Amino acid sequence: MLLLRRGLSLKVLRKEVDRACFGEKAKQIMRPDDANVAGNVHGGTILKMIEEAGAIISTRHCNSQNGERCVAALARVERTDFLSPMCIGEVAHVSAEITYTSKHSVEVQVNVLSENILTGAKKLTNKATLWYVPLSLKNVDKVLEVPPVVYSRQEQEEEGRKRYEAQKLERMETKWRNGDIVQPVLNPEPNTVSYSQSSLIHLVGPSDCTLHGFVHGGVTMKLMDEVAGIVAARHCKTNIVTASVDAINFHDKIRKGFVITISGRMTFTSNKSMEIEVLVDADHVVDSSQKRYRAASAFFTYVSLSPEGRSLPVPQLVPETEDEKKRFEEGKGRYLQMKAKRQGHAEPQP
């Protein structure tokens, strides 16, 4: 929900639009439908707001010059941490800025602040980096070129290029290793992978899609967070909140009328956190000649909370099969790597 200004002259309005190509801001009050029973706003709701801001600013930029009209489609979301919970009644301030462009992609940085409208206090809840590609309105399978941006410092372009090359490599690696599917197991034991794994089947309707017939990235992320949340809640039987999301890779578009299966399974637990892998597969309902394909994948991290909002210990996952043990060790490696990174960034104590 963007706030639009009234009473602007055409000349001033054009200036506002020019600035909007490089910065986008939106505000939205959090309502009960946006939160869980404990009053914490769903991580998927915040991810959806982040993606909407990114889609607006990148689509505006990609159409800022004369040429074929296009719409920006989400290709990847880098790891994002949920730094502070947001609650019902607070106002979410979402700001987006273009930080790098390659020939065929746009990097957008998005920040989210929560505001207590009674006290005026604000706090940072999320920082996210998203990558978009411009798709032709005439043919959504055609990727167009991106207008370049002017950098204030040459180092900004060089740093952006390094980020672009790194995400491109990681995205390709993830696409090839995500070929497996989540299979149901009868009568699973508590604390096992099979006990908490969950799936959601969703028919993609018009309200889920852009005007051009493919699903909003934010809609997909919201559904992924819902499934991951169910897995986490089943495992620990407490109130849970999203702590972070590893890179979300969008491998292919999902079109209107397709059926998507969002599957989640526990991969790793530390003392106070749970890592859940979420896979999104798409099927054509009518055309059986089109094969099922992997549309998106990511790892979500959740924490367990007491009714007072304090962090609780997490029941330890019991991997049974060799694949589950392998995924557990891979998740442990990601956890230790991120823990070391956080400690390295921590300010030294006096």
- Catalogue the active-site residues: 36, 225
Give me the phi and psi of 241, to 5 degrees please: -135, 155
CA distance 87 to 231: 22
Beta strands at 293-305 and 248-250: parallel, antiparallel or unpaired: antiparallel
What is the spatial distance between Cα 104 and Cα 144, in angstroms, rounded to a whole number? 6
* Residue 95, token pair as written in the block: 């700001």
Tell how many helices (H) and how many strands (E) occur in the chain.
6, 13
Beta bridge partners, 76, equal 131, 249
Residue 161's identity, in one-letter code, is R
Give the rounded distance of the alpha carbon of 4 from its chain centre: 26
CB 70 within 8 A of CB 135: yes
Instruction: Return all residues near 171 (Cβ < 8 A) that are at least 6 apart.
Output: 75, 76, 247, 249
- The span from the CA of 259 to the CA of 292, in Å, is 10
CA 269 – CA 288 distance, rounded (Å): 39
Which residues are CB-neighbours of 167 under 8 A, at least 6 positions away? 76, 78, 131, 247
Residue 282 CB burial class (10 angstroms; 0-12, 13-18, ≥19): buried
